[in-house]
Amino acid sequence: MTPHMAMQGDMNMDMGQHGGAGSAMRPMSHHMVVFGHESVFMSHLAMFSVPEHAYQVILEAELTGSDNDPQQIFRQDWEKHPEVAFYTFAPESFVLSDLLPAAGQPPKAATFSGDLWRNHLEQPETQPVEIASGVTVNVKNIVCGRRLDVGAAPLSQLEYVLFGRGQEVFVAHLITRPPDFDQLIQVTVTPAFSDEDLSRGHIVTVDGHENTKDQRIQPSGQASVAATVDTGTTPVSVQINPGAEFYFNDDSDMQAPKKKKG
């Protein structure tokens, strides 16, 4: 399947510098959060200080292997370990921006390979365990693909990207400029959206909330929040009922790059 690039509202951007001839982007290993039971989603662990990592990329994928079924391994492992919030993926080096369209051209790549880990592979205290190696990620859909700009205009209100499939619906905080935060939380949205709508990665603005980590959508047990979904045509008013917040990060990766001395 050809990856679909969502371009809704603030998702629009100049993609001309994403990979392609003359690009200075180096191949690197781009660690990703892996989540979702009905469909596999992956979210790149973005950081402002390294140009190659300064991308917010969320994708829907199929996992395959030459001598095993990593997608089945992933699902069976999560059934055995329901306490695990998410898994992580350590790809072999590749150019992340090659997954995104550039200058009106389709993406240069739709697959990458690496190893799948239970828990957070960058945090030893979570006791990460590799559960599948030599995994090929086949990109089915790019929900969100954005280059980050440290000089971007600040958001006036709290914004998220709405996506998911079936009964699993998620929002990801829209990362813009440092200092910022990365957040993934499962939600229920009323009225509900179709899988086709969710695949587009609509922008959601939370009513009356400033764009700060303290005013972010809180996890299960907290009150629902009113929000407006930008569908690209008519805005839709919704209620967002929070579920589990399974990933949150506001560490140095989300801070402004340090200025070079001299």
Specify whether 164 is located in the same domain as 226. yes
Which is more confident, 184 or 258?
184
Could you tell me if residue 26 is inside a domain? yes
Specify whether 95 is located in the same domain as 205. no
**Separation CA 64–CA 140 (nearest Å):** 12
Could you tell me if residue 261 is inside a domain? no
Which of 119, 147, 175 is the last residue in one of the domains? 147
Q: Structural domain of residue 245, as residue ranges?
A: 159-252
pLDDT at 251: 95
| Spatial CA neighbour of 21 closest among 140, 102, 126 | 102
Residues 144-160 have pLDDT tens digits of 999 999 999 999 999 99
Could you tell me if residue 204 is inside a domain? yes
Residues 11-70 have pLDDT tens digits of 434 333 333 333 579 999 999 999 999 999 999 999 999 999 999 999 999 999 988 899
Domain count, the chain: 2
Which of 147, 178, 210 is the last residue in one of the domains? 147
pLDDT at 220: 82
pLDDT, average across residues 225-240: 96
Residues 83-137 have pLDDT tens digits of 999 999 999 999 999 999 988 889 999 999 999 999 999 999 999 999 999 999 9
Give the C-alpha distances (Å, rounded to integers) separating 238 from 161, 170, 177, 207. Answer: 14, 14, 26, 10
**Separation CA 167–CA 147 (nearest Å):** 29
pLDDT at 257: 87
Specify whether 38 is located in the same domain as 107. yes
Residues 55-84 have pLDDT tens digits of 999 999 999 998 889 999 999 999 999 999
| Spatial CA neighbour of 44 closest among 188, 191, 147, 198 | 147
When mean pLDDT is compared across 36-40, 102-106, 173-177, 242-246, the lowest value belongs to 102-106
Could you tell me if residue 74 is inside a domain? yes
Q: Is the pLDDT of residue 221 over 60?
A: yes
Specify whether 187 is located in the same domain as 125. no
Q: Is the pLDDT of residue 10 over 90?
A: no
Specify whether 140 is located in the same domain as 15. yes
Specify whether 27 is located in the same domain as 140. yes
Which of 93, 126, 147 is the last residue in one of the domains? 147
Q: Does residue 74 contact residue 34 with C-beta atoms inside 8 Å?
A: yes
Point out which residues pair with 220 in neighbouring strands. none
- Computed over every residue of the chain, the mean pLDDT equals 90
pLDDT at 20: 37
Specify whether 17 is located in the same domain as 103. yes
pLDDT at 12: 34
Specify whether 33 is located in the same domain as 123. yes
Could you tell me if residue 247 is inside a domain? yes
Specify whether 18 is located in the same domain as 103. yes
**Percentage of the chain exceeding pLDDT 90:** 83
Count H helices and E strands in the chain, helices first: 2, 12
Q: Is the pLDDT of residue 2 over 50?
A: no
DSSP string, 183-245: EEEEEEEES---HHHHTT-EEEEETT--SSGGGSPP-TTSPPEEEEEE-SSS-EEEEEEEEEE
Specify whether 129 is located in the same domain as 179. no
pLDDT, average across residues 170-190: 97
Could you tell me if residue 122 is inside a domain? yes
Specify whether 70 is located in the same domain as 127. yes
**Separation CA 236–CA 226 (nearest Å):** 11
